[in-house]
Chain A
Amino acid sequence: MALDIVSKYRSGLIAVFLIVFQSGAWGLPQVYQKPSDFLRSSFGEIPPTRGISLTQSQQSRVRSILGKNYHQKVIRYWASNERCAFILEAVGKTELITTGYVIDQGKIESVKVLVYRESHGSEVARSFFTHQFRGRSLGSDNRLDQQPRNIAGATLSVRALTKMARLALYLETLR
Chain B
Amino acid sequence: MSFASIFLALGGIVAFSLPVKSQDLLVAPGVEQADELDSSFLNPQSPKQPGLFDRLGIGSYGELHLNQGDKNEIDFHRLVLFLNYRYTDRIRFVSELELEHALSGDGKPGELELEQAYLEFAFDHGWVLRAGQYLLPLGILNEVHEPETFYGVERNGIETQIIPTTWWEAGLLVSKETESGLGFDFGIHSGLSIATNGSQAFNIRSGRQKVAKADASNYAASARIRYNALAGLSLTAFANFQEDVTPSSVEQNTATLLGASALYQRGGLQLRALVADWKIRGSAFQVSGSDHQSGYYFEPSYRWYRAIARLAFLRGLEHTTFTRVRCNKQTRSVLGSTSGPMKTLL
Contact = CB atoms under 8 A, between A and B. Distances in A.
B129 A93 contact: no
B37 A46 contact: yes
A28 B232 CA distance: 27
B22 A17 contact: no
Contact of A158 (B90, B149, B309, B345): B345
Chain A interface size band reads: 35 or more
Nearest to B27: A51
The binding surface of chain B is classed by DSSP as mixed
A73 B22 CA distance: 7
A48 B89 contact: no
B27 A50 contact: yes
A98 interface: yes
A72 B123 contact: no
A7 interface: yes
B228 A153 contact: yes
Contact of A150 (B35, B92, B232): B232
A149 to B, nearest CB: 3
Contacts of B30: 48-49
20 contacts: A13-B188, A24-B123, A34-B38, A35-B37, A35-B42, A69-B22, A72-B23, A73-B25, A74-B27, A89-B44, A93-B15, A96-B20, A114-B41, A115-B41, A123-B181, A128-B231, A149-B232, A154-B228, A155-B144, A162-B345
Interface of A: 3, 6-7, 10, 13-14, 17, 20-21, 24-31, 34-36, 39, 46-51, 67, 69, 71-74, 76, 87, 89, 91, 93-96, 98, 114-115, 117, 119-120, 122-123, 126, 128-129, 132, 141, 147-156, 158-159, 162-163
**Which 3 residue pairs of A and B lie closest in terms of their CB atoms, listed nearest first?**
A51-B27, A27-B124, A149-B232
